[in-house]
Structure 1
Amino acid sequence: MRLLPSFVALALGLLVSADPLLSPYRVHERRGHIPVGWSYDRKHDSTAAIPLRFALKQNNIDAIGDYLMAVSQPESEGYGKHWSAGEVFRKFSPSTESIGAVLAWLEENGFDSSRAKLTRNRGWIEVQATVEEAERLLQTEYHVYGHETGQEHVACDSYHLPEHVQSHVDFVTPTVHFDAKISKRSGSGSPDGTARSVGQPGHGTSPKTTGEIQTLLNQLESCDKQITPICLRALYGLVYEPLAASKNSYGIVEYTPQAYLQSDLDMFHSNFSQGLVGVAPEMVSIDGGYAQTQYTGFEYNGESDLDLEYAMNLVTAAQPITLYQAGDMVEGASFNNFLDAIDGTYCTFEGGDDPTQDAIYPDPYGGGYEGPEDCGTAKPTNVISTSYSYNEADLTPFYTARQCAEYAKLGLMGVTVLYSSGDYGVAGNGGYCLTPNGTYSLNGTIFNPSFPGTCPYITSVGATQVNPGSTVYDPEGACEQVIYSGGGFSNYFAMPDYQKTAVEYYLTNYYPQYPPNIWNASGTSRGFPDIAANGANYVVAIDGTFNLVYGTSCSSPVSGAILTMVNDARLAVGKSPIGFINPTIYSSSFAGVFNDITMGGNQGCGTAGYTAVPGWDPVTGLGTPNFPKLIAKWLLLP
């Protein structure tokens, strides 16, 4: 499981070290292409301010997979003995040597102690610099990029670090990454969507719809046409009333401007769960996030309405739902904002704010959230579901490795983290695939995996469907209506040990007949998704009407609700939450507890994609949950 730093080094092709006394500069990160929707605008003003952040290397991070397996593998003596936030902090806090090396280098380049600030968790060093100073320090050139919506972003094509500093730094922001927007937007706040649709991770990952429903069907015999809660309960055997709701928790993550409408929740619940009418989720605001109502429509309300309506219904009125609403209407937010707030070891140890200005908050340009950045202020729930994603190729190997390690830390603390696997089959968001030169194209032929779906420390959720003409008592197939279940093999992350038997069986018996230059055919990379759930024909109340909705955006919150009820059963008998589930669900003791999906595929990139087959496959993973079998197996574990 010691895969992150070694694979990152491999992916970047780092040069062999030279004489340390000379400490030559080396390329630390390089971006191969400009993400879809962005284009070069102009050279950045040399006198403009840039809030540089240096992500320091963490101690013992190469062994984080081993630590996680010790509390997550069912055969382990330490199963379920999760760590406290303090234990996580002490184990992974960057060394004094790393802090000293970076501070000394900054001081040599004119940034004395009054300008270079170490965050309270010792994980970041922050410096306010002019563009001219940053370009000299990192041997790069900063540009301003424009998005098709009017958003602007500051970035460079690559940057350099001295050889003796490289080993102490994961990455620097803002540099090559397009996960956050730090410059003043033009036209933000206009109702035509300007600067609205890129204010969250993975532009293009929202659920899809075929429009308004004329006649509402709520019978089991109609589940091939409309999915309602009774369909899901019948498909997955979810007949359960919570017993330990006060000890349990389930969190849904949304990124502003996506927001729910209470009137939509009430409309849905009045038809499917009367006890929830008038009930709102318990909202935790992250960096100015709020349930905005200024802009409405499917683009703004579809995701959040979907997630909350089904999550709340399936866990029943007895179990409160936590809504993590990240980012304000101007700046938006990235996954790093959420991780800052949810994991105190990522930003500020043992809670509280770290009132230093970073690349996003406080908004240095005015008009946005100007309070302190939320760091360690949000308590993590036992299960967290997120229906947003990037393409893996949008981000650099160092950056994805750092985030992936943070999900491992959450697993160590007993948190189950679910991410939707994507809606475009083997293609990336929007149906874009990669080309031989590393750029995106709708005509590309190289498979484009999602992130964090490829992170080995989260559970990736694909999508299935009740096949046309079938019932909930018939086997489901892979989703091939409107969307295709995202799946495939990572280009960044090595195959984790817990997955080897299942993936090797697939590659031995059902090897994809595609040229090795369009997919990662090494046989040593992380496969995804891990599991699946229905993602087609959902009935969702959006802006006062019922709509048919499709996507892995549906399957992730439904899977999270089912796992939340498993947690309830364990907590009711005095056991720990299930935490990081992958080592358990891939184990031989859990064989047969998921409904195996053997029909359908996930086309994309001009191909038929992969095919659902017996056992694990890169379309539907291990299959869909069978709640009675899952709860019985997990109750037997310590």
Structure 2
Amino acid sequence: MRGPLLRLVLLGLALVSSAEPLLSPHVVHERRRSVPAGWTRTRRHASDAVLPLRFALAQQNIGSIDEYLLDVAHPESPNYGKHWTAGDVARKFAASEESIVTVLDWLEQGGIERGRARVSTTRGWVHVDATVEEAERLVNAEYHVYTHDTGKEHIACEAYHLPEHVTSHVDFVLPSVHFDAKLSRRSDTSESQPPLSTADQPAHNIGLPGVGISPKSGGKVTETVSEVEQCDEYITPICLRTLYGLDYTPVATDKNSYGIVEYTPQAYLWTDLQMFALNYSLDTLGKAPYMVSIDGGYPQTVNQSFDYNGESDLDLQYGMTLVTGAQTVTLYQTGDIIEGASFNNFLDALDGSYCTFEGGDDYTQDSIFPDPYPGGYKGPEDCGTVKPANVISTSYGYNEADLTPFYAERQCAEYAKLGLMGVTVLYSSGDDGVAGNGDLCLNPDGTQTANGTIFDPSFPGVCPYITSVGATQVKNNTSVYSPQPEMACMEVIYSGGGFSNYFPIPSYQEEAVSYYLENYPPDYPPTIWNATGKSRAFPDIAANGANYVVAIDGEFELVYGTSCSSPVSGAIFTMINDARLAAGKSTIGFINPTIYSSKFAGAFNDITEGTNPGCNTEGFNATPGWDPVTGLGTPNFPKLLAAWLELP
């Protein structure tokens, strides 16, 4: 799938000739310019060790995925809302017979007997167990063991090569240069927070290897709050309903669904849900999310702290409350408590063609089930076992630079496939402004450090097939009833936003981004940000992300983050789906082509104040129209509902 998505690789990963030919001249297929933060190369991998080599076959028709998606997602298309089935998607993008034969022939001529290579049942991958010595000869690479600060080990190489006649048939090889590490918790280095005295408290950050997780804690709430007059200091459900006009009672709940993704060991506490419901959401009292366990996931209670419970408690308390107790919320609890899980493990459950030996995973990067470790999940890996909800919200993310373009591209295509099936996928845009997770910024050599100077965008926030959600806050001493009550979030966290270094600008975004760059050009040299005007820009929209009152471990805390913004936005879109389904219409699916269209002009509350600092700059400015801080703005539910009900 190196067609339209990979026209823009601005950090320089060119294909160049290298090494002696095996069957035909080899070329560099992927090269990593640096080791991700937290990882150190420790030793050469044993030559007789066995690697499960996996070759991601180039998918047929993937170069046309933009066209297919716009056909069902653009409001002016005659096929708007005519979403595909999972079978339609699988058939359309299966690898060609030519690709399969080319790869198998090459492996056989390279010493891998035909019987050792297996083609996945979905025809997306070729798998072969090879020794390190064999693998290094096949792909002209050197495999090393890398160790993370947490002690985890990972197998990777600096670069690998494929024969010239093979490279167009393979997207990427696993294991190789990728560090899409498992979502497992980093050792706890946080400090407890003092009682809340002001809104500006030190941030309490959940951290994972290579993965940033919001939210951040601003400390304990020492008084019960519920008044709409206090929304500039404390955000509760009534504040959000008032800000965004969410006065709606769902009527098609049996047809509708809303999914929230969490990764073990992050988990909600039942007692926290009840504490929140008793104070702010009586219609959800006694209710719990419908949990779908993926690869042994469950809401563990052994470990309890903000780091373990903050994210899930936040997502579910607000997600469940805003869709009301009448609408069931599905919790996709992913990964067991021993291994955790990765984005790929979640995608495996939704799409069987993305599974181990049938696409996507590598034991050095993604959790493999049955879990081989003591106490781990011993059941089979979830592969195509989960029907995706109509709206899915996720508040986890990597830095774009953590991944290679090929790998990010392949994962991004999975979100496009979900869009084809009518699913709305939301990701929080990040909490560090123009910097990456952990306040890391890029250096000219591609490394990420705290003293870097180049803006470091997030992933999947820059994937053109998801909706990226930034953060706002109610202005100090401002009523939610005022004409413009919100600004970009600049307390504790900063709304993630900027421009991709990997993905080209999608057509639905060209006009909005062009207007911003022409009328409000950022005053930064092009050496520190992608100033071409031809790259995917984010976020797409925003919602409040500051001062949330959340019940965590038996106490109310103030919480900040784009992780607040994403589940709230998801709840709003779920209610719009309810109205459309009740009217006999389709779900809204991939919303970006619609919300950027002229039909939706004015349907979001434009945010024109604030910036998103990072990398020793003030970041970008919030401006009239779309901007790389708050996107198109915050949802105006009545206007959005009316506009979507007018569509077929």
The separation in 2 between residues aligned to 1:233 and 1:373, in whole angstroms, is 40
Alignment CA distance shift 1:202-1:563 (3 Å): farther
What is the percent sequence identity of the aligned residues? Answer: 67
The separation in 2 between residues aligned to 1:452 and 1:623, in whole angstroms, is 20
Deviation at 1:200, TM superposition (A): 6.2
Spell out the pairing of 1:472-491 with structure 2 (5 A cutoff): 472-474=480-482, 475=484, 476-491=486-501
Q: Which amino acid aligns with 2:547?
A: N
Spell out the pairing of 1:434-449 with structure 2 (5 A cutoff): 434-449=442-457
The separation in 2 between residues aligned to 1:156 and 1:417, in whole angstroms, is 32
CA contact (8 A) 1:387 1:556 kept: yes
Per-residue displacement from partner, 1:163-185 (whole Å, max 9, x unpaired)?
11111111111211111359xx9
Counterpart of 1:527? Answer: 537
Secondary structure of 2:83's partner?
A: coil
- Kindly indicate whether residue 215 of structure 2 is the aligned counterpart of residue 207 of structure 1: yes
The separation in 1 between residues aligned to 2:498 and 2:186, in whole angstroms, is 38
CA contact (8 A) 1:189 1:329 kept: no
Q: 1:217 aligns with which of 225, 231, 246?
A: 225
Secondary structure of 2:213's partner?
A: coil
Deviation at 1:524, TM superposition (A): 0.6
Secondary structure of 2:95's partner?
A: coil
Per-residue displacement from partner, 1:436-458 (whole Å, max 9, x unpaired)?
11111111110000011111111
Q: 1:450 aligns with which of 430, 449, 458?
A: 458
Alignment CA distance shift 1:158-1:511 (3 Å): same
Unaligned runs of 5+ in 1: none
Secondary structure of 1:631's partner?
A: helix
Counterpart of 1:609? Answer: 619
Deviation at 1:343, TM superposition (A): 2.2
Give the count of matched residue pairs.
Answer: 628
Q: 1:499 aligns with which of 509, 523, 546?
A: 509
Deviation at 1:275, TM superposition (A): 2.2
CA contact (8 A) 1:20 1:163 kept: no
Counterpart of 2:198? Answer: none
Secondary structure of 1:630's partner?
A: helix
Per-residue displacement from partner, 1:432-489 (whole Å, max 9, x unpaired)?
0001111111111100000111111110000000011112123200000000000000
Which sits farther off after the overlay, 19-28 or 132-141? 19-28
Deviation at 1:49, TM superposition (A): 2.6
Secondary structure of 1:245's partner?
A: coil
Counterpart of 1:372? Answer: 380
The separation in 1 between residues aligned to 2:53 and 2:609, in whole angstroms, is 49
The separation in 2 between residues aligned to 1:152 and 1:33, in whole angstroms, is 17
Counterpart of 2:605? Answer: 595
CA contact (8 A) 2:8 2:501 kept: no
Counterpart of 2:196? Answer: none
CA contact (8 A) 1:433 1:442 kept: yes
Deviation at 1:132, TM superposition (A): 2.3
Q: TM-score w.r.t. structure 1 length? A: 0.94
Secondary structure of 2:41's partner?
A: strand
Counterpart of 1:396? Answer: 404
Q: 2:276 aligns with which of 268, 271, 276?
A: 268
Q: Which amino acid aligns with 2:368?
A: Y
Deviation at 1:16, TM superposition (A): 7.7
Secondary structure of 1:41's partner?
A: strand
Which sits farther off after the overlay, 274-283 or 448-457? 274-283
Alignment CA distance shift 1:634-1:18 (3 Å): farther
Per-residue displacement from partner, 1:88-113 (whole Å, max 9, x unpaired)?
11111110111111122222233334
Deviation at 1:11, TM superposition (A): 5.3
Secondary structure of 1:389's partner?
A: strand
Deviation at 1:124, TM superposition (A): 1.4
Alignment CA distance shift 1:131-1:18 (3 Å): closer
Secondary structure of 1:330's partner?
A: coil
The separation in 1 between residues aligned to 2:135 and 2:362, in whole angstroms, is 17
Counterpart of 2:128? Answer: 127
The separation in 1 between residues aligned to 2:431 and 2:206, in whole angstroms, is 18
Q: C-alpha root-mean-square deviation of aligned residues, in Å?
A: 2.6
Secondary structure of 2:396's partner?
A: coil
Counterpart of 1:104? Answer: 105
- Kindly indicate whether residue 425 of structure 2 is the aligned counterpart of residue 414 of structure 1: no
Counterpart of 1:540? Answer: 550
The separation in 2 between residues aligned to 1:587 and 1:191, in whole angstroms, is 45
Secondary structure of 2:240's partner?
A: helix
Q: 2:585 aligns with which of 550, 566, 575?
A: 575
Q: TM-score w.r.t. structure 2 length? A: 0.92
- Kindly indicate whether residue 474 of structure 2 is the aligned counterpart of residue 466 of structure 1: yes
The separation in 2 between residues aligned to 1:364 and 1:456, in whole angstroms, is 33
Counterpart of 1:631? Answer: 641
Q: Which amino acid aligns with 1:628?
A: P
Which sits farther off after the overlay, 57-66 or 166-175? 166-175
The separation in 1 between residues aligned to 2:453 and 2:359, in whole angstroms, is 45
CA contact (8 A) 1:357 1:372 kept: no
Secondary structure of 2:455's partner?
A: coil
Unaligned runs of 5+ in 2: 191-204
Deviation at 1:494, TM superposition (A): 0.6
- Kindly indicate whether residue 255 of structure 2 is the aligned counterpart of residue 247 of structure 1: yes
Counterpart of 1:141? Answer: 142
CA contact (8 A) 1:424 1:483 kept: yes
The separation in 2 between residues aligned to 1:389 and 1:274, in whole angstroms, is 32
Alignment CA distance shift 1:8-1:579 (3 Å): same
The separation in 2 between residues aligned to 1:11 and 1:82, in whole angstroms, is 37
CA contact (8 A) 2:608 2:622 kept: yes
Q: Which amino acid aligns with 2:316?
A: L
Alignment CA distance shift 1:471-1:177 (3 Å): same
Counterpart of 2:193? Answer: none
The separation in 1 between residues aligned to 2:356 and 2:369, in whole angstroms, is 16
- Kindly indicate whether residue 29 of structure 2 is the aligned counterpart of residue 55 of structure 1: no
CA contact (8 A) 2:284 2:325 kept: yes
